[in-house]
Copies of this chain bind each other. A is one copy, B any other.
Amino acid sequence: MARTIAAFQGEAGAFSEEAALALLGDVQTRGYRTFEDLVAAVDAGEVTYGFLPCENTITGSIARSYDLLFEHPRIKIVDETTRRIEQCAIGVPGARLDMLDRLFSHPVALEQCRRFFVQHAAIAAVAADDTAGAVRAIMEAGDARAGAIGGALAAQRYGAVILQRSIQDHDNNFTRFFVISSTMGPRRDLGRICLALHLPHEPGSLHKALGRFAKQNINLRALVARPRRGEPFEYTFYVELDAAAEADLTGPNIFVLGAY
């Protein structure tokens, strides 16, 4: 049997690669530059699974991920996993925290570590393209004064050292990922269904659609509303449901994105 390949967006050591390895164990991983590239590779069957972030506790639902699934009907959600985002101060081997004068990372990661920079006023925050790429870059430069902020896996991937763990301000920073595939069926039976509903932009249309789920005693886990591109008065609603496989969810304007 061919080896399982898990695709993620970002450079080696990204948080989404951490999520893939935590769920699947010691599989081969492959990073893609953009979410579009990642989804295209899953659609073409070049990889077994893709890890697509769908929700973050701070920023909310990631509507673009649902859109991408809807645009690729061959791809289904086959599992899901939630990963805590733990930012670490990372340096080159031999470095110590008190040697650092700058830390490179993605602006969002720098922002998540504001308190750390207040407490370490001698360390400047410097923007980089992404967290794992910043770790790679400091290792290439090999300067003990230059560190990076990223995940523990990024330190491991590039042979860097973790100088301090969990330097983020908030501990409730979790990202939920859909595990997607065009070649494999559901990995587990979690009793979850994700649907796209096309609804006219008129009073009561969502109420009517949800009535069907309410009648079957199906719980709503998540809901994302998206205007349809080029059709300004029509909406796509993405709903995630706790539903047994025998639930009646089919219909002319209902598209199943995953049942797992």
Which residues of A are at the interface with B, using a C-beta cutoff of 8 A? Answer: 34, 57-64, 106-107, 110-111, 114, 125, 127-130, 172, 201-208, 210-211, 213-214, 216-220, 222-227, 229, 237
**Contact in complex: B207, A214 (CB < 8 Å):** yes
Copies in the complex: 2
Tell me the bound Cα distance from A216 to B204 in angstroms.
9
Q: Which residues of B are found within 8 Å of A62, using beta-carbon distances?
A: 59-60
**Contact in complex: A229, B172 (CB < 8 Å):** yes
Candidates B34, B60, B130, B201; contact of A224 at CB < 8 Å: B60
Smallest Cβ distance from A155 to chain B, in angstroms? Answer: 20
**Contact in complex: A219, B207 (CB < 8 Å):** no
**Contact in complex: B225, A223 (CB < 8 Å):** yes
Smallest Cβ distance from A128 to chain B, in angstroms? Answer: 5
Which secondary structure dominates where chain A touches chain B? mixed
Q: Which residues of B are found within 8 Å of A111, using beta-carbon distances?
A: 34
**Contact in complex: B214, A204 (CB < 8 Å):** yes
Smallest Cβ distance from A64 to chain B, in angstroms? Answer: 6
Candidates B57, B203, B225; contact of A61 at CB < 8 Å: B225
Smallest Cβ distance from A35 to chain B, in angstroms? Answer: 10
Smallest Cβ distance from A255 to chain B, in angstroms? Answer: 18
Question: With A60-B63, A128-B127 given, is the CB distance from A203 to B214 under 8 Å?
Answer: yes
Tell me the bound Cα distance from A111 to B203 in angstroms.
38
Tell me the bound Cα distance from A225 to B59 in angstroms.
12
Q: Which residues of B are found within 8 Å of A217, using beta-carbon distances?
A: 203-204
Sampled A-B contacts (8; CB under 8 Å): A60-B61, A60-B62, A107-B128, A127-B128, A127-B129, A203-B218, A203-B220, A206-B220
- CB-CB nearest in chain B for A211: B207
Tell me the bound Cα distance from A224 to B237 in angstroms.
11
Tell me the bound Cα distance from A165 to B177 in angstroms.
36
Smallest Cβ distance from A68 to chain B, in angstroms? Answer: 11
Tell me the bound Cα distance from A34 to B219 in angstroms.
36
**Contact in complex: B223, A223 (CB < 8 Å):** yes
Q: Which residues of B are found within 8 Å of A128, using beta-carbon distances?
A: 107, 127
**Contact in complex: B208, A203 (CB < 8 Å):** no
